[in-house]
Amino acid sequence: MYQVKTLSLAIAFLIGTLACSASPAGTTETAPPSVGVLDDPCTGVPLEATAAHQATANPYMSWMHDWLSLDWGQQCKYRNENRLLSAPSGRRIVFIGDSITEAWKDLDPSLFTSEVLDRGISGQTTGQMLLRFRSDVLDLKPSAVHIMAGTNDIAGNTGPTSLTRIQGNIASMVELAKLHGIRVVLASIPPARHYGWRPEVEPIDKISAMNTWLRDYSKAEHVLFVDYFSVLSDDSRALKSSLSEDGVHPNAAGYAVMRPLADAALRQALPPHRK
């Protein structure tokens, strides 16, 4: 009994101490919560690098650390754009992916219209895309989705993984899309001989293995497969130097080579125009 009473007093003292430290003496105001269930979980998420980030030795990594600690799936990035969208016309297409998708709209802007939406995020892995698949794909009610993902998993951007895990994440996105009546265009991973930010990784064989799986999986699941790898790669399975500045990301010439394949796949994926 003595121990129970002592413990109760200690808990009461701790609660009182926390309450006093939460607000200045003589006030009853408390700071808004920054964790848990919030009305707006994007409050405080740094969607742009701040002056504090710029003052660090590596502003980008400092910014990403703070962003990902609050929003690992980066669901806040396109939230405002998604809110402003008009109702879909029945021919909406969403491109979800990483930096290769995100940069596409800058280097080939004519592809993207009010109904062809770019939802790529630089650096993302398939697990992050799966996490935001509802907010950036399903909730937008497209007729088709173009999924191009996996190279950042192979680079280890969010830690160790396996081909089986990458495949599982992609399969889950495909299954969700099909469940919601969304037609799927599944893209190959573009070629890369090395990653400048992760030089110890040798990606060529892993990319080839994933692309074989993607082709076979697409056939088994009756979804469209678009093979960008073949038109971008040289004889050594690297990205052609004329089509990239860094060996990973296509340049404008690279996207120009990809564009006809994308157009053809999307024409197949979309329902026919009604007369």
In eight-state DSSP terms, residue 31 is P
Distance separating alpha carbons of residues 86 and 44, to the nearest angstrom: 27
pLDDT (mean) for 85-89? 93
Picking from 224, 229, 269, the residue whose alpha carbon sits closest to that of residue 248 is 229
As a whole number of angstroms, the longest Cα–Cα distance in the chain is 84
- Tally DSSP H helices, then E strands, for the chain: 13, 5
pLDDT score at 8: 47
pLDDT (mean) for 75-96? 96
Residue carrying the six token digits 């400092």: 62
pTM of the model: 0.86
pLDDT in tens, 101-127: 999 999 999 999 999 999 999 999 999
pLDDT (mean) for 245-254? 98
Topology classification of domain 78-269:
Rossmann fold (3.40.50)
- For the sheet containing 224-226, what is the strand order? 116-120, 93-97, 144-148, 183-187, 224-226
pLDDT score at 271: 76
Distance separating alpha carbons of residues 240 and 233, to the nearest angstrom: 5
Distance separating alpha carbons of residues 133 and 127, to the nearest angstrom: 10
pLDDT in tens, 15-48: 344 344 444 444 444 445 577 898 899 999 999 9
